[in-house]
Amino acid sequence: MEISDQLVDLAQKRAEGFALEGFVKGRGPADAKVMLVGEAPGETEVGNLIPFSGRAGKELMKFMAIAGLTREYVFITSAVRSRPYRYGEKIDRKTGEKIKRRYNRPPTQKEILAHAPVLDAEIQMIQPKIILAMGNVGLKRLIGKAYQVSEQHGKIYRGPVQHLAHLEDRSYSWTEEVYTVLATFHPASIFYNRQLLPLIEADWQLLRQQLEAR
Ligand code: URA
């Protein structure tokens, strides 16, 4: 199940002028019970159009296994569906030449707002039993800026999520529907902080328990 090409066009128009490249639709079955919400795709994903298929994706697959899940059963998406980039310089080891290249960066609030109709539509389409926000970008997009993964992980949020009631709105409002939202650190966070590993594993155990209870 994936969003329409019209919605992709709309999101791309809304994001015109931003340093974003590619467009990776969220992926998963229409009857997915779980939706995973990350930050934004990276270089690998905009190349092959498969969410979480790069380095972070490898870690994600291991975490999903803790909850007894595979790609076939979950809907994987993120707050922004294009790769946010910045230019930087790298020295070519062989030639010593300076090469200008694109690096990943976190999405801005404006970019998240521009792509909001995509995540809104995916949530409407899938009606997941549980949404797992992976990282602060996804979590804040869903349940508001006051929340932090470091405080919210291990807890169960049950309530509305933020959406754009009208395309022209510049701020979010709350859905009438109520959702269950869990939080964990982004799978890439362990590349910078290995100590998060047991915390993340416990979060995926909690997801497993919650799924078994439903
Ligand atoms: N990080 C994300 O949030 N999404 C991807 O698809 C890859 C890395």
pLDDT digits (tens, 9 = 90+) for 66-101: 999 999 999 999 999 999 999 999 898 888 999 999
Helices (H), 70-185: 109-114, 116-126, 136-143, 149-152
E strands within the chain? 20-21, 34-38, 74-78, 83-91, 98-104, 130-134, 157-159, 162-163, 173-174, 179-184
Give the CATH number, domain containing residue 87: 3.40.470.10
H or E element in which residue 34 lies: strand 34-38
Q: What band does 20 get if pLDDT is binned at 50, 70 and 90?
A: very high
Are 88 and 103 in contact by the 8 Å Cβ rule? The answer is yes
Indicate the residue type of 109.
Answer: Q
Are 139 and 149 in contact by the 8 Å Cβ rule? The answer is yes
To test the ligand 1 pocket, which listed residue (63, 78, 149) has its Cβ within 8 A of the most ligand atoms?
Answer: 78
How far apart CA 93 and CA 97 sit, in angstroms, is 8
- Comparing CA positions, the residue from 104, 5, 3 lying closest to residue 45 is 104
Give pLDDT tens digits for 130-183. Answer: 999 999 999 999 999 999 999 999 999 999 999 999 999 999 999 999 999 999
Number of domains in the chain: 1
- Residue whose entry in the numeric block shows the structure tokens 């994903």: 45
DSSP assigned state of 202: H
Q: Which residues line ligand 1 (CB under 6 A)?
A: 38-42, 45, 51-52, 54, 56, 78
45 CA closest ligand 1 atom index: 6
Taking the centre of ligand 1 as the mean of its atom positions, its distance from the CA of residue 83, in whole angstroms, is: 9
Range of the domain at 23: 5-212
Asked if pLDDT for residue 42 goes beyond 90, the answer is yes
pTM exceeds 0.85 for this model: yes
Q: What is the pLDDT of residue 178?
A: 97
To test the ligand 1 pocket, which listed residue (44, 45, 76) has its Cβ within 8 A of the most ligand atoms?
Answer: 45
